[in-house]
């Protein structure tokens, strides 16, 4: 069996490739990645001899068609995914997230190949902090940024291709991920690597915003379950009941790294900062029997801290430029 993984040198995609190589060694893995700033060849270095890396754009129709034609399944991670970047320039998000997904859909339609499309809970908008509700597969879409709007559009394209053309495809919408190989521009690795450098963590606004955190390995095990046993046309939500405010994330990281829990500074909030995300993953749990392995968020954070401490050579080259961009934004 051969699986094509788009965006397989990015954070979640690279971790998926590692999992696939480790647990299904009989599978041939092909990675298509543009190797933009968020895609890093070094993230695949430990499995480089087991993976075919094709450097290219998911919007390149002839290239995508040639790769899909020799694949048994496609797992589509490739996406522009940072809200701040989408506010600065939405155009790459439209190209990669919408045109790229269209290109993949047309290729799997031509060749009759199974597709799993990886998406985000941000397509649903946000919830009030005191609202007991959680996102479900039937929650109406209400995206609030160019990033989440283009991901919502890509989800709807997949649904339309299933209904209109009968392709075999599933969708997953996952909550916020953390773990190894996440770019230092993201919230948790930015704080960890800053603390390693002796810099006080920076907290957007009041820090009350809540995210439903999940370790990337738990996310990817769910993706593998859906790819193998999910029902075509079904949307599965992936979450680990990890609702935690940004303030508590920072306080926990400070405690893990031996600092006082209030040793952080507030910086201006990001525009349109969603208040709260929360996932109801009961369909995934009940239908496919998936369960998270990292049930303690603190333990997962401690594991992630150790990874960044041990892999400075991976993240250090990106740190200075990332902080320079944040400095320009006053954050």
pLDDT (0 to 100) of residue 247: 97
Range with lowest mean pLDDT among 81-85, 225-229, 319-323: 81-85
pLDDT (0 to 100) of residue 38: 86
What is the rounded average pLDDT for all residues in the chain?
A: 96
pLDDT in tens, 154-192: 999 999 999 999 999 999 999 999 999 999 999 999 999
pLDDT at 83 over 80: no
Q: Say how many C-beta atoms besides its own lie within 10 A of residue 126's C-beta.
A: 21
**What mean pLDDT comes out for the span 115-126?**
97
pLDDT (0 to 100) of residue 37: 86
pLDDT in tens, 223-250: 999 999 999 999 999 999 999 999 999 9
Residue 33, classed as helix, strand or coil, is strand
pLDDT (0 to 100) of residue 87: 86
pLDDT in tens, 125-162: 999 999 999 999 999 999 999 999 999 999 999 999 99
Cα separation, 142 vs 158, in Å, equals 17
Give 272's pLDDT tier (boundaries 50, 70, 90): confident
pLDDT at 82 over 90: no
- Catalytic residue positions? 121-122, 147
In this structure, are residues 201 and 250 in contact, taking their beta carbons and an 8 Å threshold? yes
pLDDT at 331 over 80: no
Give 75's pLDDT tier (boundaries 50, 70, 90): very high
Give 65's pLDDT tier (boundaries 50, 70, 90): very high
In this structure, are residues 278 and 214 in contact, taking their beta carbons and an 8 Å threshold? no
pLDDT at 274 over 90: no
In this structure, are residues 314 and 43 in contact, taking their beta carbons and an 8 Å threshold? yes
pLDDT (0 to 100) of residue 85: 84
pLDDT (0 to 100) of residue 233: 97
Cα separation, 249 vs 263, in Å, equals 13
**What mean pLDDT comes out for the span 305-327?**
93
pLDDT (0 to 100) of residue 88: 87
Q: Which domains does the chain have, with CATH numbers?
A: 2-177+214-238 (3.40.50.720)
Q: What are the tokens at 138? A: 């039937």
């Amino acid at each position: 069996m051969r699986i094509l993984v788009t965006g397989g040198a990015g954070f979640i995609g690279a971790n998926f490739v590692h999992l696939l190589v480790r647990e299904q060694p009989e599978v041939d893995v092909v990675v298509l990645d543009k190797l933009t700033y968020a895609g890093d060849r070094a993230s695949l270095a430990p499995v480089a001899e087991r993976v075919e890396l094709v450097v290219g754009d998911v919007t390149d129709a002839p290239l995508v068609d040639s790769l899909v034609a020799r694949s048994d399944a496609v797992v589509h991670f490739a996406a522009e995914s940072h809200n701040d970047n989408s506010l600065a320039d939405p155009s790459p998000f439209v190209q990669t997230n919408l045109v790229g997904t269209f290109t993949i859909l047309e290729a799997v339609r031509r060749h009759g190949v199974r597709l799993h499309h990886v998406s985000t809970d941000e397509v649903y908008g946000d919830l009030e902090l005191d609202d007991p509700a959680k996102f479900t597969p039937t929650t109406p879409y209400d995206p609030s940024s160019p990033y989440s709007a283009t991901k919502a559009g890509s989800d709807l394209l997949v649904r339309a291709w299933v209904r209109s053309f009968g392709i075999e495809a599933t969708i997953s919408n996952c909550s916020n991920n953390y773990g190894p190989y996440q770019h230092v521009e993201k919230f948790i690795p930015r704080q960890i690597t800053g603390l390693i450098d002796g810099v006080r963590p920076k907290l957007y606004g009041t820090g009350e915003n809540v995210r439903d955190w999940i370790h990337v390995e738990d996310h990817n095990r769910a993706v593998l379950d859906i790819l193998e046993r999910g029902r075509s046309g079904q949307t599965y939500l992936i979450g680990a009941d990890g609702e935690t405010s940004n303030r508590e994330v920072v306080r926990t990281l400070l405690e893990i790294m031996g600092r006082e829990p209030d040793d952080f500074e507030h910086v201006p909030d990001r525009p349109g900062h969603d208040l709260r995300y929360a996932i109801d993953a009961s369909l995934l749990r009940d239908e496919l029997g998936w369960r998270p392995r990292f049930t303690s968020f603190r333990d997962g954070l401690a594991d992630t801290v150790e990874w960044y401490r041990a892999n400075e050579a991976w993240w250090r080259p990106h740190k200075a430029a990332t902080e320079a961009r944040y400095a320009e934004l006053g954050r």
